[in-house]
Each structure stands twice: as C-alpha cells, then as structure tokens.
Amino acid sequence: MDTRSLAPQLMQTFRAELEEHVRVMNEELLALERAATGGERSARLTVLLRALHSLKGAARAVNLGLIAEVCHRLEEPLIAVRDGKRDLDADLSGLLFAGADALADGARRLGSGEDLESSLLAELSAQLADESGRQGVGSSVAPPPTGAVVSSSAAARTSASPAAAVPGRIVEAAVRVTAERLDALVADGGELLVAHHRLEGRRDELATLRDVVRRWNADRRRLRTSRDVPRLGQQGDDGAEWRRASNALASTAECLQRTEKELDRLVARLTADGNAMGAVAVRLEEDIRRVRMVPFAEACAGLFRAVRDLAKATDKDVELLVEGGETELDRSVLEGLKDPLLHLVRNAVDHGLETRAERSASGKSARGRVTVSAALRGARVEVVVTDDGRGIDLAAVRVHARAQGFVLPESERELVRLVFEPGLSTATIVTGVSGRGLGLDVVKSRLETLNGTIDVASEPGRGTRFAMSLPLTLTTVRALLVVAAGQMFAIAGTAIAGLRRARIDDLAVVQGHPMLPVEDGLIPVASLAAILGNGASPGGDTNVPILLVAAGGARAALAVDELVVEQEIVVKSLGPRLAGARAVTGGALLASGNIALVLNPAYLARRAVGSAARLVSRTFDAAPARAKRVLVVDDSITTRSLEKSILETAGYEVDVAADGELGWQMLQERGADVLVSDVEMPRMDGFALTETVRGSARFRELPVVLVTARESEADKARGLRAGADAYLVKSAFDQRALLETIAQLL
C-alpha cells in the first residue's frame, strides 16, 4: 500500500482508539472516586494504567510525541497510588480528569486538522513536567490548565455501565468499521431494495404483455370458429385464397401460442428471481440495521462526567441513574440524541435540583437524583429524563410568557409546554450553563429532525419529567406517499392519525379559519402545498383528500391532491446544504426513479395550526346525484382508510368493515354496488366472502375486487375460481388501477 494513503488511515484509526481510551478513562475515574473496597480500587487502577499505556504506544506509532508524553506523565502518579506511595486525593483526581479533557481536546483537534502546539495537551504537559521536576511524584499537583473543569463531589452510578472493564472478562471478537462505511452500506442496501421494487414493476409489465398475447390468441380462436366469417372459397374462386389465409392464420396461431408459453415461462422465472432478490434485500437490510444498532448506554457515557463537574460547580450532591441502557437504537438516532440528552440532564442539575441546604430545609435527602431511562414502545423508543427537584415554576412561566406576548393557555399542562418556545426562560441569572433563553426550543427542534417528539410534566416540589419519543431507526420508515402541487412527498405513518375526505360543506369556520370536525373537536385545515410554499393546490375536486397529522403536541388536517400508497421507504440525507430545512428530514428514491421528499410532520402540524397557510377557499363541485356505493373489507385500519379516502375522493359512497363476517353482515343490511376485499382476514377471509357472495341469489352478480398481498399465480387462480372479477396485488398497488378496475366493472 502507498505510504501516502496509509498515513491518513492510520491517523483515522488512532483517533478512534484515542476517543475510546478517553471514554474508558472517564468511566474508570468516576468509578475509582466511589470505589469502596481496595480490590475494586486496584482493578480500576489496573484498567486506567492499561488504557494509558496502550494509548502511549499507539501515539508513538503515529509520531504524536506530545500525547505519548502526557500519557507517560499521567502514569506516574497512578503507579504511585497503586503502590501505596500516594493517596488519590482531590488534587490528583482533578489532574487525571484534566488529562482526560486534554486528550479529548486533542482528538477533536486531530479530527479538524489543527495542530496540538497550543492545545490543552501542550499546557498540561508543561505543568506536569514542571511539577514532576520540582516536587516529585508524591507531591501535590498544581491546579489543572484553564478550560478543564475539575470537581470532586458527585455520586454517579448506572444500572448498565457500558464500559465496565472487568479483568478476565471474555470479549467477543470485533472488527472496527467506520461510520462512513456503515452509511455507505446502508445506501447500497437501499439501492438494492429500490432495484427489487423496479424488478417487480418489470414483472408486472411483462405479465401485462402476456395478457395482451392471451387476448390476441383468444380473439384468433373466436375468429376461426365464428360462423359469421365468410369462407373465401365460397365466393367462386378455386379455394386458393382461402387456403393461403387459413395457412397464415395457422402460422399466426402457432406463433401466438409459442409466444404465450415463452411469456409464461419468463413471468414465472422473473417472479422467482424477484422473490429471491427480495428475500436477500430484506435480509441484508435487517443485517445492516442490526450492525448499526448500538446500546442506549453509549449515549449516556458522557453524562456521568458532565453531572460530576456541574454538581461541584453548583454546590450540589447529585446521583445519576441510567435505566434501560441495553436498549438498542440506530447509530444515527443515538448520535442525534446525545446533545438533547446532555442538555436535559444539565438543565435538571442546574435548574431542577436544589442545593444541599435547600433540600435539607424542605425535608428532602441532601443528594438529588436524576434518572435517565429508555424503553421500547413498539417501533419507537421512549427516553425519559426525570429529577426529584423543585419542579418548573409555573407562576414564573406565566409571567415571562405574558411579558413576551405569548397567548396563555388555560390548562397547566399546556402552560408548562411553553418552555419549548424560543426565547422563553425562567432563569433569574445568566450562567455558562443556562439562562440565556436558549435551549429547550433547540432540543425540540433537534428531536423533530429525528422524527421525534418531546413532552414535559412537572409537579412543584416533586420534580420534572421530560419524555422523548424517537424511532428506532431513521434509515427505513413506513410512510404514506402523497402528491401536492404535482410533487411527491412522504410522511411517516406513525404521525398519521387518520385519513378523511372533505367538501366545502364539511368544514366549519372559526374566526375566519377553516376547521375540520372530528370525533373529539375541531382541528385546523391547511393546504400542504401552501405550507411548503408551492402555492395553493388546484381546485375543482368534489372531494379533497385530508391527512390527519398528530406530532409534536399539535394536530392538523392537511389537504393534498392525491393519496398514492403506503410503503416502506429508505430515507437518505439530502446533504449539508439542506440540513437547516425545517420542513424536510430527508429524501427517498422510489421504484419509479423519482425522489420523494420526507417531510417533518411536527413542523407541518405547527405551521397548519398557525395562520400562514390556511386552506381558506377551494372550488368544489356539487356531489353527484346518485353516488355508487363501495364496500371495503380489510382488517388493516390503514389500508381501509387509504382505500376509503381514494374512493370517496373519486365520488363514491364508501362503507368499511374490519373482516369478512362483518362485511357480509353490512352487505346484507346496506347493499353495495362493488365489493373491495382483502384476502387474509380473521373469522372470514376474502376467498370465503367471495364464495358466500356468489352463492347468494341477491348478490351473485355483485362485482368483487380482491386487493391482497398474496401475489402467487396459485392465489390469483383461487381468487378467480371463488368468483372474483379482479385481483389486485398490494405490492404493485396503484390508486388509478383500483379506480379504473371499479369503473370498468360498473
């Protein structure tokens, strides 16, 4: 390998090793401060010395003598403590933490291409050399360099410590892979999934061509057997023209039959190849996802040091607990969570917890407690930060909110949520930690870019609870594709509370703003195109598709032009230039080759609740005098709602049922012009429902359309044998195909 290309790779490897050793140092120093027994202290010292010794050797290998020297100087007092020649007092503890800070600063400088000459490492090295030369190892050490925060009184422990380096523990073999390579692997996996979707599209196109050939062949057979076709030989000739035409027709028949058989074979092979490719793509995506999953405890690794330093600076005694540290999240989610989590923990120590004297005066334990927990909630993870401090001062929130022109809500629950508004702070003094009116609004915004939400609850004198909800992964999302102003967009399915259709008569007007009546009140209606700055959506529709979006504590109804399909998408970053776009969180490459922008549902909901993009008018046609009724039967509420909205937008009256038995009962009670049914359902599946309909004297002529995930030829044949008039596959579902099929059957 070329040495010029080897050096950067070695430096990148060293930086990763340096960051890992700094993490171990911080954790072991924290554990060493509270170690109760001599055996535990000895084990921690051994781990610390091993980390410094390994780092010293690695630094020499990449010609970073300053880092090697600092590690060597830090080893000396630790060896003295190990050998009983020195106590681990507050000064030495502060020195060691300052060393960890200096090494962390060195890692940052190496990553940004800065030199180490004016770094904390250089300053610390000079002080260490001076003290060692003047006073010897056993002497008191001068204060750490400026910029390193040192303190010695904070209790910290965790229920799932991520780096408890226990001697003798068997560790699984591991390979170090850079985050960039993982991201590239995710991108390749996404491309494979998109290619698989394209392959399915090509298969469907080939199947369509095969059906065309079958129709030609059928038409040819009808032509040959038709009694209405005059025989050319009966028109007075010698029969030569008839024989030539007959031979040509026979040759065409042979070609059509051969083509039909070849198309059957190609469709079967393409289906098998597509299924195999799909299985590989799914397995690869799952394997990549597992590789990217890291324990939540890694996001908490830096919290213990932050709590320790801040507790000393604010004269507080603090215990930090981490629960659910083994819960795994995608690396990108975990990285994005670190800053909000750190801010909330620092906020809890600085704002939430009282001083020792204040806690004692109120009858509390002198030691305050901050708890950080993570727990799975379906496809999302809930991260909660709680403290047992004074709680949020609602009176102060009310005063500051009124002074800054906020509309004060009636309920205390909504009042306390004002702490997430920009510029609102109840701090009475400005410190280096908080009090500048910044922070919680930034936390909220950062979480929204991760498709996350945050909520807060507080009880005076008892403490505060911040609850964050985030997806387990940002790479693959189940999303609904919609069209607004001619562009395709994707919205995470977890943020969609329902689907509706609306006419102008369905809307209520409150203080000049259109509102959609729902079961529990009114919610504002806005045009998605207008929110995104693309102008108003085109009018003239009888029914407007409406998405009910609930995210970030807000609800809104978004009017779109078209609902396309719900499907799994692979989300990709749009790059640094669009990193600040609040409305967009990424992009997804679709099987068609088009790109759908992935929208931020919390931002959309807030904008809709505001007054910037109201859907104040739209041209609606009058409802048809006699609308055809469609009965939709599907056990998936999402699929039912999607199909219902599509059909209602097209002018149909729609009834829905959750399974075949309910569908049959509703059909008998209300009747229908068309039945659209899923196949796999509880109690009575789609095949049984179709057979029941065909066995009924009243409904035996009712058009039946089966829409199902079953796409094998055997399932299609079974559906047609049961009496279905059409069979649509969900993987290739398109609303135009559904509407065209129903229109043909009617």
Q: Do 646 and 598 fall into the same domain?
A: no
Contact predicate 545/649, CB 8 Å: yes
Q: Do 252 and 350 fall into the same domain?
A: no
Q: Which residues of 44-59 are buried (b: 16+ CB within 10 A; e: fewer)?
A: bbebbbebbeebbebb
Contact predicate 62/68, CB 8 Å: no
Neighbours of 600 (CB within 10 A): 25
In a domain, 168, yes or no: no
The predicted pLDDT at position 386 comes to 95
Cα angle 335-336-342, degrees, rounded to a multiple of 5: 90
How many angstroms separate the CA atoms of 651 and 114, rounded?
66
Angle of helix 90-112 relative to helix 120-135, nearest 10 degrees, comes to 150
End position of a domain, from candidates 428, 453, 471:
471
In a domain, 162, yes or no: no
In a domain, 519, yes or no: yes
Q: Do 340 and 354 fall into the same domain?
A: yes
> What is the chain's Cα-based Rg?
34
End position of a domain, from candidates 427, 446, 471:
471
Q: Do 441 and 491 fall into the same domain?
A: no
| Half-sphere exposure of residue 508: CA atoms within 13 angstroms, side-chain side | 10
CATH number of the domain encompassing residue 300: 3.30.565.10
In a domain, 234, yes or no: no
In a domain, 269, yes or no: yes
The predicted pLDDT at position 630 comes to 92
The predicted pLDDT at position 247 comes to 67
Q: Do 300 and 401 fall into the same domain?
A: yes
How many angstroms separate the CA atoms of 334 and 329, rounded?
6
Q: Do 66 and 104 fall into the same domain?
A: yes
CATH number of the domain encompassing residue 38: 1.20.120.160
CATH number of the domain encompassing residue 569: 2.40.50.180
Of 506, 533, 505, 504, nearest to 518 by C-alpha is 506
> Which residues contact residue 350 at a Cβ distance below 8 angstroms, ignoring those fewer than 6 apart?
310, 314, 431, 433, 434
In a domain, 481, yes or no: yes
Task: For residue 459, report the phi and psi dihedrals to the nearest 5 degrees.
Answer: -130, 120
Q: Do 310 and 457 fall into the same domain?
A: yes
**Helical H segments across 330-476, by residue range:** 331-347, 356-361, 394-403, 412-416, 440-449
How many angstroms separate the CA atoms of 376 and 383, rounded?
9
Contact predicate 337/299, CB 8 Å: yes
Contact predicate 116/106, CB 8 Å: yes
| 3-class DSSP assignment, residue 121 | helix
What's the average pLDDT block by block, 10 residues per block, for the chain (746 residues)? 53 79 85 76 84 82 83 85 82 83 84 78 76 48 36 35 36 55 69 71 74 72 56 54 66 74 79 76 73 84 86 88 89 86 90 90 91 88 93 86 78 83 56 48 82 88 91 80 87 86 73 75 84 60 79 82 82 66 78 80 79 39 59 84 82 88 86 89 86 85 84 73 79 70 79
| 3-class DSSP assignment, residue 369 | strand
How many angstroms separate the CA atoms of 294 and 292, rounded?
6
In a domain, 169, yes or no: no
Q: CB burial class (10 A; 0-12, 13-18, 19+) of residue 543?
A: buried
Say how many domains are in the chain. 5
Q: Do 402 and 521 fall into the same domain?
A: no
The predicted pLDDT at position 371 comes to 95
The predicted pLDDT at position 50 comes to 85
The predicted pLDDT at position 246 comes to 67
Strands 496-502 and 544-551: antiparallel
How many angstroms separate the CA atoms of 203 and 178, rounded?
38
Q: Three-class SS string for 551-566?
A: ECCEEEEEECCEEEEE
How many angstroms separate the CA atoms of 208 and 527, rounded?
37
Token pair for 676: 């659209």
Write out the E strands in 226-309. Answer: 293-295
Neighbours of 202 (CB within 10 A): 12
Longest dimension (CA), the chain: 131
Q: Do 254 and 277 fall into the same domain?
A: yes
End position of a domain, from candidates 150, 170, 190:
150
How many angstroms separate the CA atoms of 616 and 709, rounded?
40
Q: Do 605 and 657 fall into the same domain?
A: no
- pTM, two decimals, is 0.56
Q: Do 123 and 202 fall into the same domain?
A: no
The predicted pLDDT at position 425 comes to 60
Q: Do 555 and 698 fall into the same domain?
A: no
In a domain, 719, yes or no: yes
Structural domain containing residue 603: 476-609
CATH number of the domain encompassing residue 678: 3.40.50.2300
